């Protein structure tokens, strides 16, 4: 059996025919490494189901059970679609120091306590004494949590077969290695092969396995892209180290929705679930200030009220500056163009800065109206009437388009003490109960005149 050289980029996993000083895909310097791959050999047998050689009618296949078990942390269960599916392979990514190891050790402790089952925690980055110190701080010292510092895939597989845990945590997949693969740990080949073996052991023993994955400087999961295709669930830990809260977001879920988020507060005793996430993303102003408006956004089935702040000021340069934090910059530029064309706000010679309070990122278009109102409020130096929340998508012609889950959004605003909501006129008929003062708006100009305090 001969081996040929294959060159991969360690940052983006791009494959090139020869060594290069700079990756042509991501532009990273000195990131190309050489790996040896066998050119001939026997085909690997499918270890998950040795008896599936011949195709069978789908009606003769016995379906697997998707009965979930709880992790003991409701925010994690929400993001995973109601709990962990037995035999599933989960990948958790996030920036260094964001709290991945902390939340997984808490999940190990709460899951073992809630389900009265054994949990195996494997670390390739910490010693068992370091894990013990963190477990003591988090209050998860239990006899049914087994910990080990191991990086060899075969040895981890033997531990799983001997202990038969219900949940396994691997921290992290980049530190694991297969001795049969002639490549350094963390390389593309090692990450792929180790994930493949763990996937087989998870499916064959019905053991749920959670993998920790490193991220690149661009915020993407490190390793080959096929890694995300092999796993069943991909979770992303988000947040800023300077701030206490953390967001757990579902990027992929074969067993549930991918739009859910979990909100946590980082404290000395670990990550604490936040009962009212909307309170984190709104500032309490002693008086009304121009440029601040509260909008309602949906994260999966959860409504969140967030505050959008805008600052419009005269530009001291020939080209005005545009900056956004937490929003799509292209979408914000589109909204400013609509305001200039349809409403007559001449902001071409002004700098514009838009920020979402709390550092949360918003993707849905239902916050368009909030961005437009905050920009108009700052430009005209007129504050939004206190106790007002807005929601709606803006079209290029200046019309306000309907949004989904309008009843949940308005109910959340009422729960947090808002007295007035501006919503699309097309959604007025969807409100079944008598909520707060709800006004329907058809155009962005009409919405701005109603929202701004006279």
Per-residue pLDDT tens digits for 2-50: 566 778 777 777 788 888 888 888 888 887 877 766 544 444 444 444 4
Cβ atoms 88, 107 nearer than 8 A:
no
Homologous superfamily of domain range 71-275: P-loop containing nucleotide triphosphate hydrolases (3.40.50.300)
Q: How far apart are alpha carbons 166 and 117 in whole angstroms?
A: 6
Whole-model pTM over 0.95: no
Please give the Cα distance from 372 to 392 (Å, whole number). 10
Count of positions (residues) in the chain: 454
Residue 106 in tokens: 């808490």
Q: What is the per-residue pLDDT across 49-104, written as a single tens digit (0 to 9) for each?
A: 444 567 889 888 777 666 899 999 999 999 998 899 999 999 999 888 889 999 99
E strands, 380-431, in order? 388-390, 393-394, 400-401, 420-424
Q: Quick check: 198 and 209 in contact, CB under 8 A?
A: yes
Which three-class secondary structure state does DSSP give residue 295? strand
CATH of domain 280-451: 3.30.230.10
Q: What is the pLDDT of residues 199-229, one digit of tens each?
A: 999 999 999 999 999 887 666 676 666 788 8
Please give the pLDDT value at position 417.
Answer: 87
User: Whole-angstrom Cα distance, residue 46 to residue 49?
Assistant: 6
**Average predicted confidence (pLDDT) for the chain:** 87
| pLDDT band of 336, cuts 50, 70, 90 | very high
Token pair belonging to 327: 């929003």
Mean pLDDT throughout 167-189? Answer: 88
* CB-side neighbour CA atoms (13 Å) of 139: 6
CB 247 within 8 A of CB 261: yes
CA separation for the pair 421, 409 (Å, rounded): 10
Residue the block writes with tokens 């191991």 = 150
Burial bucket for residue 416 (CB in 10 Å: 0-12, 13-18, 19+): middle
């Amino acid at each position: 059996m001969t081996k040929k050289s294959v060159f991969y980029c360690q940052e983006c996993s791009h494959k090139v025919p020869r060594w290069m000083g700079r990756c042509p895909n991501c532009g990273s310097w000195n990131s190309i490494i050489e790996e040896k791959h066998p050119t001939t050999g026997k085909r690997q047998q499918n270890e998950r189901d040795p008896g599936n050689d011949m195709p069978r009618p789908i009606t003769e296949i016995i379906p697997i059970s998707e009965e979930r078990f709880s992790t003991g942390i409701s925010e994690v269960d929400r993001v995973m679609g109601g709990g962990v599916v037995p035999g599933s392979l989960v990948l958790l990514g996030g920036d260094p120091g964001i709290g991945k190891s902390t939340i997984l050790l808490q999940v190990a402790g709460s899951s073992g306590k809630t389900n009265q089952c054994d949990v195996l925690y494997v670390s390739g980055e910490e010693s068992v004494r370091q894990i013990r110190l963190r477990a003591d701080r988090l209050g998860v010292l239990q006899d049914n949590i087994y910990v080990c510092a191991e990086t060899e895939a075969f040895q981890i597989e033997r531990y799983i077969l001997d202990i038969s845990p219900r949940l396994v945590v691997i921290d992290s997949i980049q530190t694991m290695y297969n001795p049969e693969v002639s490549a350094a740990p963390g390389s593309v080949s090692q990450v792929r092969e180790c994930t493949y073996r763990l996937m087989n052991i998870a499916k064959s023993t019905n053991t749920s396995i959670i993998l920790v994955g490193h991220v690149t400087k661009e915020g993407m999961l490190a390793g080959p892209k096929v890694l995300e295709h092999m796993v069943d669930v991909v979770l992303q830990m988000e947040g800023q180290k300077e701030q206490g809260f953390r967001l757990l977001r579902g990027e992929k879920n074969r067993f549930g929705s991918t739009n859910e988020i979990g909100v946590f507060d980082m404290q000395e005793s670990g990550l604490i679930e936040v009962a009212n996430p909307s309170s984190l993303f709104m500032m309490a102003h002693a008086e009304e200030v121009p440029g601040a408006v509260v909008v309602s956004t949906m994260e999966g089935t959860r409504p969140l009220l967030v505050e959008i702040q805008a600052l419009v000021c005269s530009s001291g340069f020939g080209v005005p500056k545009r900056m956004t934090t937490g929003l799509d910059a292209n979408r914000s530029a589109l909204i400013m163009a609509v305001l200039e064309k349809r409403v007559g706000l001449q902001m071409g010679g002004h700098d514009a800065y838009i920020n979402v309070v709390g550092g949360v990122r918003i993707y849905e278009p239902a916050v368009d109206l909030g961005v437009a109102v905050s920009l108009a409020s700052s430009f005209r130096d007129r504050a939004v009437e206190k106790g007002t929340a807005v929601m709606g998508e803006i079209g290029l012609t200046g019309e306000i388009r309907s949004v989904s889950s309008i009843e949940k959004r308005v109910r959340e605003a009422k729960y947090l003490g808002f007295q007035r909501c501006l919503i699309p006129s097309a959604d007025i008929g969807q409100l079944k109960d008598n909520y707060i003062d709800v006004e329907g708006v058809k155009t962005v100009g009409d919405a701005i005149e109603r929202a701004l305090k006279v």
